[in-house]
């Protein structure tokens, strides 16, 4: 009956197929009203590596080879990279359910739903990888998403600000270009999957925005200034543009945030340079 314990089981599962199975069962049980956050649940353990298979090999982001989409191998590598992001996103969503206690019921529904969506995305991409003659784990990957989860584990406001609204939101910016390029190459199978992911990721980033603002209201801080302060404090680096303004606006960003993010990207500045 304890949602936190169920989330932990999903988080700890190392085999992708088992993680998908547990995620689907947990979401179904939650929707059926069989799972609830239990105030008596043991406090969350210190964050560590999530459950994941031995492969892919995790390397520094700079060591992940850049492959052109003109080859079948390059397209498979792209699908693998997106699959790795989605696998991480399953863990990130369940960690948000497991780690942060005393939240409104809608918070837990949002992130359990997100975990279920990400699991479905991973399954679609795994199927596409198989069609391309590969499997998850065949290519090296990096661990940037989970590294930020570890850095923000102690601070729910920072987690909501930086994982959904920065790292995952990057997918809103780059996926349309991937879709256009793959459509030109005639890869309609991958295009169809990426279109589903792009549409549904808007809602996931919107959930991050919603609960980020909830945390800011709880703490009595101004959300835009706090967002840029957290960019500076936790990341301290320039951000890449351009930004998909329509999708980000739909996901809850405001024009001031997008204008200031654009300045960061164009000038290669640190967040401090556009803070008021």
HEC sequence for 162-198: HHHHHHHCHHHHHHHHHHHHHHHCCCHHHHHHHHHHH
Rounded to whole angstroms, the Cα distance separating 139 from 74 reads: 11
- Structural domain ending residue among the three candidates 139, 166, 199: 139
- Structural domain ending residue among the three candidates 77, 104, 139: 139
Q: Are residues 107 and 164 in the same domain?
A: no
Q: Are residues 10 and 107 in the same domain?
A: yes
pLDDT of amino acid 270: 47
pLDDT of amino acid 199: 96
Residue range(s) defining the domain that contains residue 240: 155-276
Rounded to whole angstroms, the Cα distance separating 155 from 171 reads: 23
pLDDT of amino acid 238: 66
pLDDT in tens, the chain (276 residues): 899 999 999 999 999 999 999 999 999 999 999 999 999 999 999 999 999 999 998 887 776 677 778 788 999 999 999 999 999 999 999 999 999 999 999 999 999 999 999 999 999 999 999 999 999 999 999 888 899 999 999 999 999 999 999 999 999 999 999 999 999 999 999 999 999 999 999 999 999 999 999 999 999 999 999 999 999 999 986 688 899 999 999 999 999 999 999 998 887 644 444 443
Q: Are residues 210 and 103 in the same domain?
A: no
How many helices and strands in the chain, by DSSP H and E? 11, 0
pLDDT of amino acid 102: 96
pLDDT of amino acid 240: 85
Provide the number of structural domains found in the chain: 2
Q: Are residues 201 and 275 in the same domain?
A: yes
Q: Are residues 186 and 249 in the same domain?
A: yes
Total-model pTM: 0.94
pLDDT of amino acid 264: 87
pLDDT of amino acid 11: 98
Q: Are residues 124 and 174 in the same domain?
A: no
pLDDT of amino acid 241: 87
pLDDT of amino acid 63: 65
pLDDT of amino acid 266: 83
Is residue 144 in a domain? no
pLDDT of amino acid 58: 87
């Amino acid at each position: 009956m304890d949602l936190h314990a169920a989330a932990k089981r999903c988080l700890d599962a190392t085999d992708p197929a088992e993680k998908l199975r547990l995620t689907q069962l947990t979401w179904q049980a939650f929707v059926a009203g069989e799972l609830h956050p239990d105030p008596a649940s043991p406090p969350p353990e210190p964050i560590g590596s999530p459950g994941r298979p031995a492969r892919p090999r995790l390397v520094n982001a700079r060591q992940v080879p850049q492959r052109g989409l003109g080859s079948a191998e390059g397209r498979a590598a792209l699908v693998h990279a997106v699959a790795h992001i989605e696998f991480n996103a399953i863990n990130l969503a369940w960690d948000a359910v497991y780690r942060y206690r005393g939240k409104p019921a809608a918070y837990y529904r949002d992130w359990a739903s997100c975990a279920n969506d990400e699991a479905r995305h991973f399954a679609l991409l795994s199927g596409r990888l198989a069609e391309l003659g590969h499997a998850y784990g065949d290519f090296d990957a990096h661990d940037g998403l989970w590294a930020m989860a570890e850095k923000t584990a102690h601070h729910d406001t920072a987690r909501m600000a930086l994982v959904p609204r920065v790292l995952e939101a990057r997918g809103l910016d780059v996926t349309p270009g991937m879709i256009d390029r793959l459509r030109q190459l005639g890869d309609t199978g991958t295009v169809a999957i990426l279109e589903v992911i792009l549409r549904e990721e808007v809602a996931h980033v919107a959930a991050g925005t919603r609960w980020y603002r909830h945390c800011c209201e709880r703490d009595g801080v101004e959300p835009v200034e706090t967002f840029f302060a957290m960019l500076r404090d936790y990341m301290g680096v320039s951000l890449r543009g351009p930004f998909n303004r329509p999708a980000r606006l739909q996901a809850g960003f405001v024009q001031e945030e997008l204008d200031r993010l654009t300045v960061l990207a164009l000038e290669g500045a640190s967040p401090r340079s556009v803070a008021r």
